[in-house]
Each structure stands twice: as structure tokens, then as C-alpha cells.
């Protein structure tokens, strides 16, 4: 006589499998997230190491955070082709390509030889609407941004290399195909002279007192944009930050503690985040200790985004 499972026994087995799946699937998801975070940490760490090798070859002078036009003016608020020559619509002009080759994402490439280091597997690829790609150079996906306050700054002038951010996942949960940026950027205005972080004044000669920073969100590029590269909200969201000394660490950002008490601006670049990550304001400050916090656009004196100042002490 053949033996077989009864219907009740089968239902019990199925129920047990369903329970185990309900328990294990979140664990698998967490393990996958942890693996992505580990890869992102490695990418940022290796990029930071490459930039430090670059510094050794260029007299401790930080790479350019943006390109400059033929007349000397600054493309400080521009997302640049990555790599140079990959974008059409005028960007492929040989003169402009040579200008972009001086920007950080291009000047550090000989020390990296790997474009994949400039993004995180947690980031979603976004292509700008109407973007024109050339057929001569393959566009790359970039989600790592450079601290634009370090534009041509001398590394020896940085107060604390283990604290000041060098690079980070500054485009949040997206990576942009064929484009690279600095975030934040110096407010260079229309100047054709030097534009450099100046603790006691404007980034350019003759700059008016006020906000000397441009700190970007990327919601205009993606409806699904959030400031967090991992986590997705203020309760557990974060990013990866690489410091000037090439160390890299996961960091919680955009944190609001009940009842809506913002954390200190020295530890959170999005310390004044305003909603569920699609928009934000930020702390600009007049001093190295972030002791004189002002609004983003209403500060007196010469203010820079607190978290990224090269003269930070802690």
C-alpha cells in the first residue's frame, strides 16, 4: 500500500515554508544592503587613495572642482561630461574637452583607471532629459561628488584631514549617466579670477558678503531622488563620506530627532532637512567651529556650508 501526505500535512508544510520565508527574506534584504554598503565604502576609499597619490604629484594642491572657460570664468554650478568628450551638444569641442580634462573626475583617472569606483551599487542610474551622447567616448555613471571647497586648495592648509570631507555620495540615491559634479561648489559668480575657499572672505576677489556656497539637490533630474544613498528616510538613511586622509565611513544624514530637533551641522550636512528627502536647506557658517549658524541665503559675512569647510576643527 502506497503512503502519501495528507492534505493537512501538505498545508502544514506550506505554512511552515511561508513562515520561514517571511523571516528570512528581510534578513536577505539586509545582507544585500550591507554588501552594497561595503562595496560603496571600498569605492570611496580607493578613490580617496587615488586622490592622495595625485596630491603627491602636484605639490599638495587639490584638483580643480570645476572647469574654466577660455576667458577664465568658472563653470562652478555645472555638471560636467564624464568622461570629457562623451557628451555632445557643444561639449565635444576639443577646446572644451581640454578644459574639462582639468576637473577632478578627469585628473584623478590616471591614478584610478576604473570609472566604476565613482558610484555606489545602491544608486539608481539617471539620464538627463534630452541628453546627447557622442559615439566616440563611452559615457560613465557617476554618483561620487567632490567637495568643491577644496578647489585648487593646498592640502597643508586643511586643519583636520581626518574630518574634512573630500568626496562623498553627494547625488544621494542616484548616479548620473555621463555627468560628474562637485557638491557643494564655491560660489564663483562671473569672476574670471581665482576662486578658492577663503575663511575670512569671499571665494573670489570683490565678492559681496553673503552665501559663498552652492549646495545641490538633484530632484530636477529624478522624481525618485532622495538625499540618502542608503536607507531612504530620516530614520535610518545615510551616505558614504571619504575624508581628506582617504579614510571612508558610513554616515547618517538628514536626521531629525523628535520633536523635529535637528542634529548639529558639524556632523550632518543635511542638518536642516525639510521634508522626506526631496528638498532641503542647510547650515552656512562664518567660522571653523560652525558656531555662527545662519540661514543658507541670509547669512551676514562670508558664509560657507558648515560641514565641508576645509578649516573645520572637529
pLDDT score recorded for residue 283: 77
Question: Dihedral, CA atoms, 160, 267, 237, 283, nearest 10 degrees?
Answer: -110
Please tell me the distance from the alpha carbon of residue 127 to that of residue 260, in angstroms, as a whole number.
Answer: 34
What average pLDDT is seen over the chain? 87
Determine the average pLDDT of the residues in 265-269. 81
pLDDT score recorded for residue 275: 55
309 has a pLDDT exceeding 60 = yes
3-state secondary structure of 256: strand
Please tell me the distance from the alpha carbon of residue 121 to that of residue 117, in angstroms, as a whole number.
Answer: 10
Determine the average pLDDT of the residues in 116-128. 95
pLDDT score recorded for residue 286: 81
Using pLDDT thresholds of 50, 70 and 90, give the confidence band for residue 94: very high
Which of 116-120, 277-281, 308-312 is predicted with the least confidence, judged by mean pLDDT? 277-281
- Count CA atoms within 13 Å of residue 65 on its CB side: 27
Exposed / middle / buried, residue 78 (Cβ in 10 Å: 0-12, 13-18, 19+) = middle
pLDDT score recorded for residue 18: 86
47 has a pLDDT exceeding 50 = yes
297 has a pLDDT exceeding 90 = no
pLDDT score recorded for residue 295: 52
Other residues' Cβ atoms within 10 Å of the Cβ of residue 190: 7
Q: Which of 40, 167, 56 is nearest to 116 (CA)?
A: 40
More confident residue, 154 or 2: 154
pLDDT score recorded for residue 282: 72
Please tell me the distance from the alpha carbon of residue 206 to that of residue 188, in angstroms, as a whole number.
Answer: 11
Using pLDDT thresholds of 50, 70 and 90, give the confidence band for residue 223: confident
Please tell me the distance from the alpha carbon of residue 126 to that of residue 137, in angstroms, as a whole number.
Answer: 18
263 has a pLDDT exceeding 70 = no
> Which residue is it, cell 553627494?
170
For residues 198-221, b (16+ Cβ closer than 10 Å) or e, as one string?
beeebbbeebeebbbbbbbbbbeb
Paired sense of beta strands 124-126 and 174-177, if any: parallel
Model confidence pLDDT, tens digit, residues 158-201: 989 999 999 999 999 999 999 999 999 999 999 999 999 998 88
pTM: 0.87
211 has a pLDDT exceeding 50 = yes
Question: Does the bond joining 277 to the residue before it have cis omega, within 30 degrees of 0?
Answer: no
Task: List the beta bridge partners of residue 141.
Answer: 177
More confident residue, 190 or 265: 190
41 has a pLDDT exceeding 60 = yes
192 grid coordinates: 574670471
Model confidence pLDDT, tens digit, residues 22-33: 776 666 566 677
Amino acid at each position: 500500500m502506497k503512503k502519501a501526505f495528507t492534505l493537512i500535512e501538505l498545508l502544514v508544510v506550506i505554512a511552515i515554508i511561508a513562515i520561514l520565508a517571511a523571516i528570512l527574506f528581510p534578513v536577505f534584504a539586509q545582507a544585500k544592503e550591507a554588501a552594497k554598503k561595503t562595496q560603496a565604502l571600498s569605492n570611496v576609499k580607493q578613490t580617496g587613495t587615488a586622490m592622495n597619490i595625485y596630491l603627491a604629484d602636484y605639490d599638495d594642491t587639490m584638483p580643480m572642482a570645476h572647469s574654466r572657460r577660455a576667458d577664465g570664468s568658472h563653470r562652478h554650478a555645472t555638471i560636467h561630461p564624464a568622461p570629457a568628450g562623451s557628451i555632445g551638444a557643444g561639449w565635444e569641442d576639443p577646446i572644451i574637452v581640454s578644459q574639462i580634462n582639468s576637473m577632478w573626475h578627469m585628473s584623478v583617472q590616471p591614478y584610478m583607471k576604473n570609472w566604476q569606483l565613482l558610484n555606489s551599487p545602491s544608486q539608481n542610474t539617471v539620464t538627463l532629459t534630452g541628453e546627447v551622447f557622442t559615439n566616440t567616448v563611452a559615457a560613465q555613471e557617476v554618483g561620487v561628488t567632490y567637495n568643491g571647497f577644496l578647489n585648487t586648495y593646498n592640502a597643508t592648509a586643511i586643519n583636520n584631514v581626518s574630518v574634512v570631507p573630500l568626496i562623498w555620495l553627494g547625488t544621494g540615491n542616484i548616479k548620473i549617466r555621463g555627468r560628474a559634479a562637485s557638491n557643494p561648489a564655491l560660489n564663483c559668480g562671473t569672476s574670471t579670477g581665482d576662486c578658492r575657499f577663503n575663511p575670512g572672505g569671499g571665494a573670489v576677489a570683490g565678492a559681496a558678503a553673503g552665501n559663498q556656497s552652492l549646495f545641490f539637490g538633484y530632484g530636477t533630474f529624478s522624481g525618485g531622488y532622495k538625499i540618502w544613498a542608503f536607507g531612504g528616510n530620516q530614520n535610518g538613511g545615510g551616505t558614504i563620506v571619504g575624508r581628506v586622509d582617504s579614510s571612508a565611513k558610513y554616515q547618517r544624514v538628514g536626521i531629525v530627532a523628535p520633536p523635529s530637533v535637528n542634529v548639529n551641522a558639524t556632523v550632518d550636512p543635511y542638518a536642516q532637512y525639510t521634508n522626506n528627502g526631496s528638498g532641503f536647506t542647510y547650515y552656512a557658517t562664518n567660522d571653523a567651529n560652525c558656531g555662527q549658524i545662519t540661514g543658507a541665503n541670509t547669512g551676514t559675512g562670508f558664509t560657507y556650508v558648515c560641514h565641508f569647510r576645509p578649516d573645520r576643527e572637529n
